[in-house]
A and B are shown apart, each in its own frame.
Chain A
C-alpha cells in the first residue's frame, strides 16, 4: 500500500473566489437535511430515495466565510443507473468541485464506504461527514472516528444534521481543508493482479488535460487511476471519452480479468472495492447488540400483508377526509366574510360600468385564490409533507408494487403518482429516478392524469361543496380507476419487461414541524407569487372581455365541446383559462357565471360533467413544459391528445349516465 511514483496531484487551475463545495452521498443519508441546515430552505427534502432530482445550489455565509454549496441527488455508486444519478455524476465530474463533503449514513457505514472509496479516487479534496451517528449508536455500531480518519487519510466529522450537532465543526474542517489542500492521497490498493491491470492501463492513458468548468473558472482533472478503473469496470460514458485504440486495449484487459477470476471484470472491481470497504469497516468500527427499536414493530404492522393495506386505506381515506373537512370549513368561513367585505368596501359601484367590471373581477380573482384554493392546498401540502418526512411513502411503494405491476409499472412509480396529487410538475421531475424510458413515459402520463391540488380544489369546491362529499370521493375513485385503466391500456400498447423495483426503504423519522412548514411554504410560494397574480389578471381579462362581450367569441369557438357535453356555453372561456392554471377554471367559472352560487346556474349533471372534464383534460402550461423536458415533444403531444380525448369521452359518459339516472 504505497503511492506510485509520479502520481498526478489534483490540478486546480485557478482558485475560485468562492469555493464550490458539493454534498454527495447515498440516498437518504441526510444530504438535503444538512444542506437546509446551513443554506436555509431552498432544497426539498423527503424521506424517499431520489427526492433531490436536480442539483440545488446556494451561496452560504458561515462565520464570515462564503462558499457555494451544492446538493446533488443521492447515488449508490459512480456508475449511474437512472437519469437522476447520471445528472449527479455529470455534475461531479465536469463542474470542478473544490471540495466534496461525502455524507454517510453512519448506521450503514460498511455499505456507504464503497462510495467513499470511489469518491476518494476522484482526487478532489474531501471531508467525510458521518451523519446520523445517533442512529448508528442505537444499532449498536460503535465507530472510532480517528481510526477511520487515519485509514482514509481525509477529515472525518460526526454529525446529527437533523439536530444540527457537529455541523459547525464539519464546516470548520471544510474551511481548513480548502485553505490548505492536502497533497495527493495515496490510493488504497486492491489485489495485486487487479492493480497490475490498472497500472498497465494507466500508463497507456494520455496525460490528463484540464476539464472545462461550467462556471468558467477552474475545472478538475480526472486522475488517470480513476479513468483506468472506470474503463475496466466497463463504464460506457468513460469509454466514449477515450480513443478507439485504448478502448480495444481495455476490452482485452477486461477479458483477461474475467478469464483469471471467473467473473466479469465489473464484478471483480466491485468485489475488490467491497472487500476494501469491509476491511476499513472492521478497522474503524465495532458492532455490538442493537437496542430494540419500536419503529421495527411499527414497520412490521405497516408492511404486513394484511394490516399494511388496512393501514394504507385508513391513512388515505383519513387524509382526504381531513383535507376536505378542513378545506370546506375554512372555505365557508372565508366566503361569508369576504362577501360582507366586498359590500362594505365598494358600496357605491353601479352595475354594468367599466369600473365596476374591473373592481369586481380583480376582487373575484383575489377571493378565488384566498377562499377557494388556499383552504384545500395548505392542508393537503401539510399532510403530504408529514407523510413524506416520516418515511411512509416508500412503504406505500412496497405495498403497491404488485398492483402497479398489473398496469405495467412498479412500486417506484408511487412517489411521482402521489406527488401528482400535489402538483404535476414535481411529479414529472420525480420520474427521473426510474431507469427505463418507457416507465418514465407511462408514469409521466399517469401522474398528469392524477388530479393535482388545483384540480382537487375544483372537485372539492364544485362537486364536493355543491353536491356533497360523496360526489367528490366518487370522482376521486373514478379518477383512480381511469389511471389504472390507462396504465393497463398503455402497457398493452407499449409492453416491456421492466427490470423491477429496487427501492431502499428508509427508517421512520419524526417529521420536524419547522421542516414541514418550510417545505409547504416552498411549494405554496409558487402559487402565491405566480398563480395568484395570474389569477387576478386572468379574472380581470375575463371580466373586461365579458364587459365588451368578447368572451362570446371564445365560447362560440368552443361550443362544439360544450354542446356535446351539455354544459352552459359560458364555461368555454373558463376551459381556456384552465389550461393556463387549473385552479383558474374554477375561479373563472364563478366569474363567467356571474354568481358565487353555482347551484343556481348549473344543474347537478352539468356540475358533475364539468368537474370530470376539468379533472382530465389537457395538462396545464407548466406541466406541459415539464413533460417536454422529461419525455420529449412527441410523447408530450401524445399525452395531451390522450387526456383531451379521455376527458371528452368521460364527460359524455357522465352526461348520459346522469340523464339515465335522473329520468
Chain B
C-alpha cells in the first residue's frame, strides 16, 4: 500500500510521477510515495513522502544512486530507487 498522499496538493495540478531511479544527477525532486515495506527503513533516515531530495550522483550500469536529504547523504540501490515515486522540482542543467 503506497503511502504519502499529499492532501494540500491541488488536484488539477497533477505532477508527473516518476521513479527516483530515472532522475538525472543534479536534479531536485520531491518524494511522493514509498512502498510500506521499505518505508520502515527509509523514513527514520529522513527519506519520507513530502521530503525534497537532491540526486547527487548515479553509479553506472544499474548501480546505486546517491541522494542528499536534509544535509545527510544516503546511497540507495537502483532496484530500491525504482520503487520510490517522485516528482521533479528542479531539473538538472
Contacts and interface: CB of A to CB of B under 8 A. Distances in A.
Interface of A: 76-77, 79, 81, 107-108, 110-111, 114-115, 139, 141, 262-264, 266-267, 270-271, 274, 299-300, 303-306, 308, 394, 397-399, 401-403, 405, 410-411, 435, 499-506
For B3, B43, B60, B74, the residue with the greatest tally of chain A CB atoms inside 10 Å of its CB is B43
Contacts of B39: 267
A503 B77 CA distance: 9
B36 A503 contact: no
Interface stretch (B9-17, B61-69, B85-93): B61-69
A447 B47 CA distance: 31
Given A500-B79, A501-B64, A303 B38 contact: no
Given A111-B44, A266-B40, A501-B80, 15 more contacts: A107-B71, A110-B46, A115-B44, A263-B3, A270-B48, A300-B57, A305-B57, A306-B60, A397-B75, A398-B75, A401-B64, A405-B62, A411-B64, A500-B78, A504-B72
Contact of B75 (A76, A141, A266, A411): A411
Most buried by B among A304, A435, A501, A506: A501
Contacts, number: 130
B70 A111 contact: yes
Given A79-B40, A111-B46, A402 B64 contact: yes
Contacts of A79: 40, 44
Interface of B: 1, 3-5, 36-46, 48, 56-64, 66, 70-80
Contacts of B38: 499-500, 502
Best-surrounded residue of A79, A262, A304, A503 (most CB of chain B within 10 A): A503
A193 to B, nearest CB: 15
Contacts of B79: 405, 500
A500 B80 CA distance: 6
A306 B63 CA distance: 12
B78 to A, nearest CB: 7
Given A305-B59, A501-B80, A505-B75, A77 B1 contact: no
A413 to B, nearest CB: 11
A402 B78 CA distance: 8
A111 B77 CA distance: 21
Contacts of A306: 60
B4 to A, nearest CB: 8
Contacts of B64: 398-399, 401-402, 411, 501
A269 to B, nearest CB: 11
Nearest to B58: A305
12 contacts: A79-B44, A108-B46, A263-B4, A266-B36, A299-B56, A399-B63, A405-B77, A502-B38, A502-B75, A504-B45, A505-B74, A505-B75
Contacts of B77: 401, 405, 410-411, 500-502
Contacts of B45: 76, 111, 502, 504
Contacts of A405: 62, 77-79
A76 B74 CA distance: 13
Nearest to B64: A401
A262 B63 CA distance: 34
Contacts of A402: 59-64, 78
By CB atoms of chain A within 10 A, which of B36, B46, B77, B79 has the most?
A: B77
Nearest to A402: B63
Given A79-B40, A110-B70, A264-B1, A401 B75 contact: yes
A506 B68 CA distance: 11
Given A108-B70, A111-B46, A411-B75, A303 B56 contact: yes
For the complex of A and B, the 7 pairs showing the least CB-CB separation, nearest first, are A402-B63, A500-B77, A500-B80, A76-B44, A401-B64, A501-B77, A77-B44
Q: Which secondary structure characterizes the binding site on chain B? A: mixed
A139 B75 contact: no
A46 to B, nearest CB: 16
A28 to B, nearest CB: 9
Given A263-B3, A267-B36, A505 B73 contact: yes
Nearest to A268: B3
A111 B39 CA distance: 15
A398 B77 CA distance: 8
B9 to A, nearest CB: 14
A399 B57 CA distance: 10
From A405, A502, A503, residue with most partner B Cβ within 10 Å:
A502
B60 A398 contact: no
Contacts of A397: 75
A274 B4 CA distance: 13
Q: Which of B1, B4, B66 has the most CB of A within 10 A?
A: B66
B93 to A, nearest CB: 15
Contacts of B60: 305-306, 402
A304 B60 CA distance: 9
B62 to A, nearest CB: 5
B59 A401 contact: yes
A335 to B, nearest CB: 44
A501 B81 CA distance: 10
Residue from A115, A306, A394, A405 with most neighbouring chain B CB atoms (10 Å): A405
Nearest to A401: B64
A402 B73 CA distance: 18
Contacts of B48: 270-271, 274
A308 B71 CA distance: 21
A340 to B, nearest CB: 53
B3 A398 contact: no
Nearest to B81: A500
Contact of A502 (B41, B58, B71): B41
Nearest to A136: B71
A304 B57 contact: yes
B76 A500 contact: yes
A110 to B, nearest CB: 6
Nearest to A233: B40
A504 B73 contact: yes
Nearest to A76: B44
A81 B40 CA distance: 8
Contacts of B36: 264, 266-267
A111 B72 contact: yes
Contacts of B56: 299-300, 303
A77 B45 CA distance: 9
Contacts of A264: 1, 3, 36
B23 to A, nearest CB: 14
